[in-house]
Amino acid sequence: MGGRTLSAPLSELTTWDADWSGLRVVVTGIGLSGFSAADTLIELGARVVVVDARDTEENRAKADTLRIVGAVDVLLGADAVAGLPQVEGEAAELVVTSPGFRPTHPVLLAAEAADIPVWGDVELAWRVRIREGRKTAQWLAITGTNGKTTTVSMTESMLRAAGLRAIAAGNVGTPILDAIRDPEGYDAIAVELSSFQLHWTHSISPLASVCLNLAEDHVDWHGSYAAYRDAKAKIYENTQVACIYNAEQHETESMVEEADVVEGCRAVGFTTGVPAVSMVGVVEGLLVDRAFIEQRKDSAAELASMADLGEYAPRHMVANALAAAALVRAYGVEPVAVRDGLRAYSPGDHRIQPVARLEDILWVNDSKATNPHAAAASLAAFSSVVWIAGGLSKGVGYDDLVSAHRGRLKAVVLIGVQTEDLRASLARHAPDVPVIEALPAQTGEQEEPVTSAEEVMARAVAAAAAVAEAGDTVLMAPAAASMDQFTSYAHRGEAFIEAVAGYVGERQAQEPEEGPEQAQEPGQAQTPKEP
């Protein structure tokens, strides 16, 4: 890599104040993480080229913004990502990639062939987190197949309840580099990390870390379940104080046992049952700590009660709360802040979100259930379910999900363009459960094909309404990604809420003489009945 103008090698670029000037960097993607990475590198004085396959009006506007910030070249369109571009006529010295780019992408394969290091935005953030004149935040790192966003939000709430300046960042919405560059700085950052982000990390050393759970997911991106598992396991590498694992899933404990951690780092388990020594868990309706107290051999510290989680707390929500509690206890937060943080926590949209109840039928939006493991948690919360499911499967199977929950299924309404695997699993393990296609196969004599995402969901809601009866739950928990028919899981969830609102409105208009309203306004919380 000739022509280097940088005085320090990449291995010495470990603070904001290191000499980044002149470093030739290619950034892949101009989405949230890519934009923040490019913006940061420009501020550091690096020479940057950004590439993105989507030549859209939005991306052109982002490119214009980056050019205003500093010297940068932005290449958009399919040709821009056909290979690794040069930077101002010279070979790149570093690639900073966005999570959406698979390791097999031509740009990244070209970097590998040229022996050019590839970092993710999380790796870059770790290297620039130390800056003269600003406080350096401790990182509490969270991953898992499901529950990441809930846990990172609970962790943030507990830290703030302790009077700390804290933020949830990373895969949760706020790019980690934006949090790092905050002028005031933070005491702690709850960092949500996807398997994609972890794949491209090399040197992060969190104060405490947790893998909440592990189930087959993103096999298409990683190439195999083993590679997906290995990416998740990187969360524990170089952890300083506590590696927190799911005591009810041995695989996460094995990850901790295999990890190369800082000397003195402890293994701490969480369980929804009674905790052993060096665990957090539940005793007689109380969340308790037997890990971060001196007398843990024969006593436990009360952290919170089940009531502090709200009137309705499914098992996986309790597990997430315990994981968050272990993270902040590793930081040194007092038990009262755990309780107050849970009381202040508000669940986000699209995660087991009741949106309406009409004629004793509950309608629930769990669009964030983008894989079978997440959908299983939703199905387990209800006893009689009309299940709206389907989408992009990401290479995972549905046999275990259907087999475990077939007794709860009254009917299944299929959405999505990849329903073959789910339909086959239903035929094998729940052959007596009616399966309804939201979009029947089109023929030349039928109406025009449905292309609107909103119409897809409207038809699914109508099909579910036709079979649901009093006491049933209509649950939209797709167990698949959304990008086949929707722009995101949030778009899919909003389409469901809108379709349910339309259905409820029509039903009320048909029966104006019915006295008091029986339906709750869509989007408001409604407590589901215990199964």
CB 266 within 8 A of CB 236: no
What's the Cα-to-Cα distance from 282 to each of 36, 211, 245, 475, rounded to whole Å?
41, 19, 16, 28
Is 148 marked as binding a ligand? yes
SS (H, E, C) 74-123: EEECHHHHCCCCCECCECCCEEEECCCCCCCCHHHHHHHHCCCCEEEHHH
Amino acid at 341: G
Q: Provide CB contacts within 8 A for 419, sequence distance 6+.
A: 390, 437
Is 149 marked as binding a ligand? yes
Q: Provide CB contacts within 8 A for 57, sequence distance 6+.
A: none
Cα–Cα distance between 208 and 175 in angstroms, integer?
20
Structure tokens at 55: 């030549």
Is 146 marked as binding a ligand? yes
Cα–Cα distance between 187 and 67 in angstroms, integer?
32
Cα–Cα distance between 190 and 168 in angstroms, integer?
5
Phi first, then psi, for residue 364 (nearest 5°) are -125, 130
Q: How many CB atoms lie within 10 A of CB 202?
A: 15
Nearest to 234 by CA among 141, 151, 162, 303: 141
Is 144 marked as binding a ligand? yes
Phi first, then psi, for residue 407 (nearest 5°) are -70, -15
Q: Is 73 left (phi over 0), alpha (psi -120 to 50) or beta?
A: beta
Q: Is the dihedral of CA 393, 176, 253, 314 positive or negative?
A: negative
Cα–Cα distance between 494 and 208 in angstroms, integer?
35
Cα–Cα distance between 330 and 293 in angstroms, integer?
11
Phi first, then psi, for residue 333 (nearest 5°) are -70, 140
Is 394 marked as binding a ligand? no
- DSSP for 127-179? HH---TTSPPPEEEEEE-SS-HHHHHHHHHHHHHHTT--EEEEETTSS-HHHH
Q: Is the dihedral of CA 98, 101, 104, 110 positive or negative?
A: negative
CB 362 within 8 A of CB 528: yes
Is 97 marked as binding a ligand? no
Cα–Cα distance between 389 and 412 in angstroms, integer?
7
Is 150 marked as binding a ligand? yes
Q: Provide CB contacts within 8 A for 389, sequence distance 6+.
A: 375, 412, 413, 414, 415, 422, 476, 477, 478, 479, 480
Strands 118-120 and 138-143: unpaired
Annotated binding site for ATP: 144-150
Annotated binding site: 144-150
